[in-house]
Structure 1
Amino acid sequence: MPTGKVKFYDSKKGFGFLQSDDGQEVHLPSSALPSGVTELRAGTRMEFGIAEGRRGLQALSATVIDRGTSVVRNQRPKPQDMATIMDDLIRWLDTASTSLRKGSYPSRSQSEKLAQVLRKVADDLDA
């Protein structure tokens, strides 16, 4: 059976593409995934059967060989640095909370910055 890596996979759309070890691009429908697998990240190594479909090569009965490493996980801050970021974030949220208790929302620019930081911190924690 051929092997290759996931180029991308969109679970919402239910398909993605594999790059086979011999350089071919192969369509990966959700129906070809092993039972219980709904998410795949780029770089995951897979073994799969290939059939010629209406629009080119299509993967059949794929199995995961190696999940690969998360790029985000490798680039996230060290735990000690993350603790400092969390302390600062708590102080910032406390200031916003005080403003809300007094009956006013933070300014638009402050709200946008806070939302951006919260998303980044959430991504780093979830990696």
Structure 2
Amino acid sequence: MKIKKNISRQPRKKRKELFNAPLHAKAKLVRAHLSKELREKLKRRSERLKKGDKVKIIRGRFKGRSGKVVKVSLSRGKIFVEGIVQKKQSGKEESHPINASNVVILEMEKREARKAEEKK
């Protein structure tokens, strides 16, 4: 049962809303699960991906490989991992974009908020 009259549930409109969302809203979507050790330490299940985090790819063509996050593209909702490249037709190698949901965070780069929590 629909309660609010001016909010749509149509998938096409939800996709469009997501596609046209501002970057600060898209940033919330670039999250990944934490490894078991980090999950126990931080008492949370997932965290936003940032440059410098060490991740392991758990799904897709590059499954099982790990490396550091080189770049986070908020507009595309993708990350680029060190050493994950694909060859182009011309022979040039280019970084391959990976969906944030397809990785697990193994180690996190130091963050200001984390530093404050660790002091407590």
Alignment TM-score, normalising by the size of structure 1: 0.23
Larger relative contact order (Cα-Cα within 8 Å, sequence gap ≥ 6): 2
Q: For the pair shown, which has the larger CA radius of gyration, 1 or 2? A: 1
Higher helix share: 1
